[in-house]
Structure 1
């Protein structure tokens, strides 16, 4: 017996020794490969600098090499040289030095224009208006600058001044504005308010800055206004700070719950995030609106409340970013944002949808297939899956915008008409009461027809292709009359199309007009008048019956069309 135990101990010692040896050897080989390739890279740069036919710019050449190397890992790991820290600072702090306005490029005039100034920010305070054409910054003429270059020139150190020359539609001479750059804090909650049936609504667009404090303030205010349920709109929220997401989850779940676990290569990258405070409200029914732009910390918020059966998720599949980034300081004032871990929400699943460690021969990556997804379970036993973002409990089909509207927007006809409209109307009704009149829409139709507006009709393209195929196969001659009749019916008719799609066109036109008077808040109020997913959420929260049925063990995710039939009879 003793000899047997002795042999077993010796055998185990040998196995452990072999494992340690190979582990040490693998680490040594890895370190050698890293050192070898760094030496080769340094030698290549030196050879290029000395012998290449043209003088290389080391900043440009090496930056391209760094960017290519990092992109081969994942798109979230990025390098920021000392003279280009504004983007990283904005992501971390949610702020930057600038004028506080979205600008867009007008390809027709070949200038950037003011597209949307933020309320209370320098652009709005000095009187810049949507549609103003940016001609000159101090002594620099902007006619040869693209939108990115103009944006970089508008940004700068907080407190610095510059003179902006603009051409305003309807005004003969250019206007000069002296602007002082300020710290631009992008709003995390552009709007919140009370909808019908005492439903609270919070539009939550970012996890940068102080989102938890902003959210708490909005929620407490809504509670004081008497809300009985809550919609959290995360459809435009691309994420941000992980610990802020955990704090917001804590507002609705008890102290001591594990919300997120991160797992990385090194011990410091692995962490567990637990709710630390007493919640604000563990009873109020919650619906979270999500979509393809919902990512990162926003997925933590939606996914955690789904896993804990604390809220119903409505909309469309989220982006699927289950990776955690940290900033790392580099020599000479540079920095990098580095993917250090994956995160896992309460059910144990990771929402990461793309495995960047596996690429095909062309270097492409694919979304994780359904066959490789693992089933997890919420607190009460509902099935959820990993590897595909957050799948909503109720999927709402997206309405397809008409083809004509795409061209009206991309060719700036909506934008330009709204500019003309604002020149003629010094003020409009409050956002909640504003409605585009039939006379206004008739004026818009005449405006479009005066622009000799043309757009591709898909039906005409398909018919033309079908005609070619019919001719090739010998059927055209006997079908000639049918084709001619169909061509007449599908011929371009701007009047007919503008009338047939008037509801969608009026909605986008109204959004463009209202935001010029009432900024982001007004734009949201206008959008809510025709928001399919918000209406779906209000219907689920009304009366609480459907809401409770969704949060039951037997529930299976479904399309919105079948909700009222299936769940009200449960």
Structure 2
């Protein structure tokens, strides 16, 4: 049976298994006992009776399945925003995003101008073994043309992923070769990671960025943490910005590496006591003494908030950034007989001080999903003074500091969103894949770049004005009209983004990307600044780290 998941990701899709659901398949699943309440049974009978009347006696022919889909969508809309139905074809894909491996041909791909472009063959995968190269364009699958047919990511997954050991033939167009090259590939297990970067900022400060909490996240994190500690790390920046969550167990394991034995990490309570639990730290954490900062923002949700809340309430870390998303609900996947599933909220989780950080959802899903826009308009993303908490939801950390429940983790040290160098023009270059296309072409046309070390690249490589003009021209070709005012405003950001992307492609290394790109990340910059100037904490009347620095 699947373990608890705690993710902000959710889908509202047509429900195809309504009859089975109403008949009690969900309620009578392996994890729950059938309900015997007379009112409940009467409701089931009333609904099925109505369906019989519509099917057999209504004047016109009716698509009963569509009626059922709509009725159950309405039913789920009355629950919380994270209880969702996932049809069979999407259940497997969603599950695979959190697994250690998936079965496929092993390529990182991108769709450029309606063509499937191989960004890089994954190390050890079938594509790399067969000889597929970065820059190849896959134009056919099993003899059928796939170029120029309106490909989307879903179609690519369906064509290239499949059972381990199954075979697929792909046709490839390669630069400077006229003929299509065909590769017969046997699908295999493809490893995937959830830790984006791990490196030393200087002789003392280490940095780890996690993009989601997946099956292997805890293992990846422990390995990275141990490696950095061996390299002399005494201070750590743990970056959970825009991490939408995942497996609760991974979050608990990571928090445990920082906390003394017996410290509460998280608890949860449901309507049924079988879902109640409390998780505490065990002995032997790898980094129980060094100073820690946890970076969060409005995109940090769920399992990210478990880690941030546990370390904040135990006064173990300084939380830096902006108020997190605010998801304090726990989902459990109830499998249905046709391969679909319902991910149902079965409990609320609570930080060690006892606070729930779930933001309100009583006003409906539209209001719930517009929360980021509301924060932007209200000024919350730019000023800590714009954040208002209910004093009735005030709690105390282990040392007596006040923290609040009712809507996300509020950082100890607020960092305003920096939009001074952002612009719609830069966003268009990213959205229409111009930046990605240019950096891939640059990598392919400059193979000598691989002879540089990452440090040499960071210190010596410059984005020239000539390169920027090439990007502008490519953007025009892709439909991004040049805007001089916005370009001038965002020039330095564009240069930094290009340099980071080139670093990633040339060295096939996310560490290289983040070493460059983090120069434009305001939360990261402020965290480093605090470590180097600890007196800033005194200015904020927060000494949680001073004794460790």
Report the TM-score range of the alignment, normalised by the length of the smaller protein.
0.7 to 0.9
Aligned counterpart, 2:274? 268
Sort the Cα spacing of 1:417 and 1:364 in 2 relative to 1 into closer, same or farther, 3 A: closer
Match of 2:412 among 387, 390, 393: 393
**Is the CA contact (8 Å cut-off) linking 2:412 and 2:542 kept in structure 1?**
no
Match of 2:205 among 190, 199, 209: 199
Sort the Cα spacing of 1:297 and 1:454 in 2 relative to 1 into closer, same or farther, 3 A: closer
Aligned counterpart, 2:195? 189
**Is the CA contact (8 Å cut-off) linking 2:196 and 2:511 kept in structure 1?**
yes
- In structure 2, what is the Cα distance between the partners aligned to 1:365 and 1:194? 37
Sort the Cα spacing of 1:285 and 1:405 in 2 relative to 1 into closer, same or farther, 3 A: same
1:551 to partner: Cα distance? 7.8
Match of 2:507 among 489, 514, 518: 518
Matched, 1:424 2:445: yes
1:233 to partner: Cα distance? 1.0
Sort the Cα spacing of 1:409 and 1:84 in 2 relative to 1 into closer, same or farther, 3 A: closer
1:313 to partner: Cα distance? 0.8
1:103 to partner: Cα distance? 3.7
**Is the CA contact (8 Å cut-off) linking 1:190 and 1:204 kept in structure 2?**
yes
Sort the Cα spacing of 1:412 and 1:363 in 2 relative to 1 into closer, same or farther, 3 A: closer
Matched, 1:79 2:100: no
TM-score where L is the length of structure 2: 0.77
Aligned counterpart, 1:322? 328
- In structure 2, what is the Cα distance between the partners aligned to 1:439 and 1:300? 40
- In structure 2, what is the Cα distance between the partners aligned to 1:176 and 1:51? 57
Sort the Cα spacing of 1:366 and 1:72 in 2 relative to 1 into closer, same or farther, 3 A: farther
Sort the Cα spacing of 1:419 and 1:396 in 2 relative to 1 into closer, same or farther, 3 A: same
1:254 to partner: Cα distance? 1.4
**Is the CA contact (8 Å cut-off) linking 1:292 and 1:317 kept in structure 2?**
yes
Match of 2:300 among 294, 298, 302: 294
Q: Which moved more, 1:419-428 or 1:263-272?
A: 419-428
Match of 2:495 among 497, 506, 515: 506
**Is the CA contact (8 Å cut-off) linking 1:112 and 1:147 kept in structure 2?**
no
Q: Secondary structure in 1 aligned to 2:529?
A: helix
Aligned counterpart, 2:398? 379
Sort the Cα spacing of 1:164 and 1:85 in 2 relative to 1 into closer, same or farther, 3 A: same
Question: CA offsets per residue over residues 229-262 of structure 1, 9 Å max, x none?
Answer: 1111111422222223222222111111222111
Q: Which moved more, 1:272-281 or 1:430-439?
A: 430-439
- In structure 2, what is the Cα distance between the partners aligned to 1:189 and 1:450? 32
Question: CA offsets per residue over residues 460-502 of structure 1, 9 Å max, x none?
Answer: xxxxxxxxxxxxxxxxxxxxxxxxxxxxxxxx874x7655533
Aligned counterpart, 1:409? 430
Matched, 1:31 2:54: no
- In structure 2, what is the Cα distance between the partners aligned to 1:63 and 1:271? 35
- In structure 2, what is the Cα distance between the partners aligned to 1:276 and 1:343? 20
1:384 to partner: Cα distance? 1.4
1:532 to partner: Cα distance? 3.0
Q: Secondary structure in 1 aligned to 2:448?
A: coil
Matched, 1:536 2:541: no
Sort the Cα spacing of 1:540 and 1:554 in 2 relative to 1 into closer, same or farther, 3 A: closer
Structure showing greater radius of gyration is 1
Query: Where does structure 1 lack aligned partners over 5 or more consecutive residues?
Result: 1-26, 458-491, 556-566
Matched, 1:241 2:247: yes
Aligned counterpart, 2:228? 222
Aligned counterpart, 1:140? 144
Question: CA offsets per residue over residues 137-185 of structure 1, 9 Å max, x none?
Answer: 1133324343322222222112222122233455443333333323333
Q: Secondary structure in 2 aligned to 1:420?
A: helix
1:330 to partner: Cα distance? 2.6
- In structure 1, what is the Cα distance between the partners aligned to 2:502 and 2:264? 46
RMSD over equivalenced CA pairs, Å? 3.7
Matched, 1:93 2:83: no
Sort the Cα spacing of 1:451 and 1:502 in 2 relative to 1 into closer, same or farther, 3 A: closer
**Is the CA contact (8 Å cut-off) linking 2:301 and 2:324 kept in structure 1?**
yes
- In structure 1, what is the Cα distance between the partners aligned to 2:236 and 2:543? 22
**Is the CA contact (8 Å cut-off) linking 2:103 and 2:189 kept in structure 1?**
yes
**Is the CA contact (8 Å cut-off) linking 1:103 and 1:116 kept in structure 2?**
yes
Aligned counterpart, 2:378? none
Aligned counterpart, 2:6? none
1:371 to partner: Cα distance? 6.0
Structure with greater helix share of residues? 1
Q: Secondary structure in 1 aligned to 2:171?
A: strand
**Is the CA contact (8 Å cut-off) linking 1:202 and 1:233 kept in structure 2?**
yes
User: Whose relative contact order is higher, 1 or 2, with alpha carbons under 8 Å and at least 6 apart?
Assistant: 2
TM-score where L is the length of structure 1: 0.75
Sort the Cα spacing of 1:168 and 1:550 in 2 relative to 1 into closer, same or farther, 3 A: farther
Q: Secondary structure in 2 aligned to 1:207?
A: coil
**Is the CA contact (8 Å cut-off) linking 2:83 and 2:342 kept in structure 1?**
yes
1:281 to partner: Cα distance? 3.2
1:390 to partner: Cα distance? 1.1
Match of 2:237 among 213, 231, 238: 231
**Is the CA contact (8 Å cut-off) linking 1:166 and 1:176 kept in structure 2?**
yes
